[in-house]
Structure 1
C-alpha cells in the first residue's frame, strides 16, 4: 500500500541529532538496496521532518518516482524545505531544476544562487554542477573562466567528471590559456581512474597526433575501454577504427555493430526508447504459440476477469493471432487488465498511447500508464516514463502526475 505524504505544518518532536543521522543513513542504505517503500516509511517519520537530509532524500524519491508516483511539484517542495534547513543536496537539486526548467520554470538567477550555495559546501559533485552551468551559460553568456575555477576545485578533490571537463577547457583554450600538456595530464589521470569520457578524449588526441606523436594502437585501446562502458562517442570512434583498419584489422561487420550500439547509446530519447522496447515480459506468462487458435479456456478466464488471460487475449485480438482481429476488443481487454493492476498490461497500454498504435497518440495517457507500470517495477517502464516527461510541457506534465495520483487513489 502506498504511503500518502503531505507537507502540512505540524508539531512533531525532533529526534536527537545522533539518532536522526543514523535514521537518515539507514534510509539512504535502504534506497541503495532498492527497497524504496521501506525507505519512504523511514523518512516519513515525524521526528525527521526538520532533518535537512531526510527532506532531500524524500525529494529524490518523488523526483525519480521511486516507491511513489513521480511528482515534480512534491519533489520541489521537499527540496525547498531541505534547502531552507541548510541541505546542500537540496540546494543543488533546486539549482539544477531551475537551470533545466523541467520540474519548475527555468530561472537562471535562482539556479546560480542555489548551485553556488551548494558548491560552497565543498562537495566536489556540486562544484562540478555549478561549473557546468557556468560553462554552458544557463540563461546567458557562458562563463568558462569561472567554470574552470570551480572545475579545478572539484578536480583537486578527485572528481573525475571535473578533471575531464577541465581538461577540455585546457585543450580548447576556453576560460584558460591553451595547455595541451595540462589537458593530457588531466585526461590521463581521469582515464586511469576509469572515466570513459576521459578515455575517449585521450584516444582522440592520439589519433589526431597534433599535440603528441600519433599512436593508433594506444587510441584503439583507449576507445575500447571507454566503449565497454557504453560511451557513445567511443563506440563511434571505435567503429571508425575497425572500418579504416587504424590500430586493428579491418572488420566491417564489427564496425556496423558498434555504430548500432552508438545509436542505441544515444538513447534516452523517447523515439529511441520506443524502438528498443519490445514485448513486455511477465513471469506469469507461459510461452505462447501465437499461430494456434485462441484457447477456449483462456477466453473463458478472460471473460471471468483473470488479468493474465485478459492480457493474453488482448494481444491476440489486437494482432489477429489465432483469432479474427478485433482492435476494440483488444483495447478493452488490455484496459481491464491494466485497471486490475497488472503491471505488464499497464506498460503495454502506455506504449500503445506513446506509439499511437491502436489508440490515439497521447503522451499524457502514456505517462499515466507507464508511471503505474514503473511503480509495479516493470522493467523499462521508468525509462519510458522519464522520456515521456522530457517531451511534455510543464502544465501537461503536472496534469498527468495529478491523474496518476487520482488513479492510484481509485485503485486502493
Structure 2
C-alpha cells in the first residue's frame, strides 16, 4: 500500500486542507481535466493558499511554475520557490510551530526545494507530533506502514493512525478503512472499514466518499443502497475524482433518460481524459454491449481494451475474451478467448474467474475439467442465486466423490489471486462472464 503523505494548513474555521490536493484541484480546474475549465475556481484556490503565510505563498508559486498554471512552466524556478518555502518552514519549525515542522518533513519526503531524505522527513514528522500536529501523526503512521525513513511496522503504523483518527483526521480514518478491509495488521472487518470511511467522508475526504460509493454500490460492509452510493460518488466526482466519475457514469449511462445519459457520458469522458483505468474499463463495456442511447462500437472498444491489457488491467483481459467468445467485432475464437479469460482470472477478475470456470465446465476452448471448473467458479465468490453460483452448484452435483475431495483439497491449497485494492476496483456490470487452458491444478 502506497498512501500519500500530506502537507496541510487549517482554514478560518479550523478545517484541515491538504495543500497539494487543493493545488491538484486548482490545476484540474485550470486545464479542464475531469471537470469544465474554470480559471476563476483556480484563482480562488490559489488565493486561499497564498494568503496563509510567506511559506505557503512560496509553495503556491512553486507549484504554479512547476505545472505552468498561468505562467510559463519552469521546473528550475519551481524548485527555487520550494527552497524559499523550506527556509520559512524551517525557521518556524525551529520555534516549535507544529504545522511548519510537518510541512518541512513533507518537503524532505518529496525532495521539493531540499535534498530528498526519508529519514530527515520522518524526523520532522516526529518533531511535529511532539509539537501537537495531528497531520504529522498521520504522516508518521504512513511512514511506518511503508517503511519510509523508519522501520516498516504495521503495529506502530496503526497506533499512530488510530491516534490521528481519534482527533478527527480524515486521511487517517481513510487508511484505517483500507487496512480493515484488507485485513492488514488487523482482523479483516468490512463493517469496521465502512465505519472508518464514513467518518473520513463526513470530515471531507474525497477518497473516502468514493470508497463509500463503491461499498454501498456492492453491499460491502453495509446493506446495498444505490441511492446513497450515487450520493457519495457525486460528492467525490464534483471534486474531480476520476474513479467516482467512472462509477457514477455507469449508473447514468444505463439510464433511459437522455439527460442522465449525457451527464454520465460527459463524466466518463472526463475520467478517461485523466487516464483513469476504471473509466476506460467502464467505457469499454458500454462500447461493447451498448446502452439505451449508445450503439455498440466494437472497433473503439477493442482499441481501449487492448490499451487496458497493455497496462495489465484484468478487466481489459476479460473484455477482450468476451469479444472473441461472442464474435463482437472479431472472429469467434474460443481458444483465444480462453487465453484472455485465464489472464483475467489469474489477475483477480471475478468475471474472468466465473467465465473461466464455466468454460472448463462445458469444455469450450479448453479441455473439460470439473475440478478446475469448480475451482474457478468458487474463486469468483459468486452471490447466492447468481448465474455463476448456479453453475458452480451444477458442477458440484455432477462430480464424483473423488473429484469433490480433489477439488476441495485444491481450493484449500490454492487460495487464489487477491482482488484489486478497495477504491480501485471498478463496479462490473456482469453482462457476459467468460474464460482457458491451464495446467492441471497448478496455482
TM-score by structure 1 length?
Answer: 0.51
Return the offset for 1:46.
Answer: 6.3
| Matched residue, 1:78 | 160
| Matched residue, 1:158 | 240
| Matched residue, 2:56 | none
**Count of residue pairs the alignment pairs up:** 257
Aligned residues of 2:252 and 2:264 also touching (Cα < 8 A):
yes
Segments of 5+ residues of structure 1 without an aligned counterpart are 1-12, 268-360, 362-383, 388-412
Counterpart Cα distance in 1 of 2:95 and 2:217: 41
Aligned residues of 2:106 and 2:121 also touching (Cα < 8 A):
no
Is 2:255 aligned against 1:170?
Answer: no
Q: Select which of 64, 67, 77 maps to 2:146.
A: 64
Return the offset for 1:153.
Answer: 0.9
Is 2:132 aligned against 1:132?
Answer: no
Return the offset for 1:36.
Answer: 4.2
Is 2:244 aligned against 1:194?
Answer: no
Aligned residues of 2:242 and 2:271 also touching (Cα < 8 A):
yes
Aligned residues of 1:166 and 1:183 also touching (Cα < 8 A):
yes
The alpha-carbon distance between structure 1 residues 71 and 136, as it changes in their structure 2 partners (threshold 3 A), is farther
Return the offset for 1:158.
Answer: 0.8
Return the offset for 1:154.
Answer: 0.6
SS at match of 2:275: coil
Aligned residues of 2:104 and 2:121 also touching (Cα < 8 A):
no
Q: Select which of 196, 200, 205 maps to 1:114.
A: 196
The alpha-carbon distance between structure 1 residues 101 and 218, as it changes in their structure 2 partners (threshold 3 A), is same
SS at match of 2:132: coil
Mapping for residues 9-408 of structure 1, pairs under 5 Å: 15-17=96-98, 19-29=100-110, 36-45=118-127, 48=130, 50-66=132-148, 68-105=150-187, 111-171=193-253, 180-211=261-292, 212-241=294-323, 246-247=328-329, 258-259=340-341, 261-266=343-348
Counterpart Cα distance in 1 of 2:173 and 2:266: 32
Aligned residues of 1:14 and 1:50 also touching (Cα < 8 A):
no
Counterpart Cα distance in 2 of 1:177 and 1:71: 52
What whole-Å deviation, never above 9, does each CA across 1:44-96 have from its counterpart, x for those lacking one?
33665621222112211322344555433211110022223442211222233
What whole-Å deviation, never above 9, does each CA across 1:249-275 have from its counterpart, x for those lacking one?
7889976765564355339xxxxxxxx
Counterpart Cα distance in 1 of 2:146 and 2:234: 30
Return the offset for 1:242.
Answer: 5.4
- Is 19-28 or 223-232 further displaced after alignment? 19-28
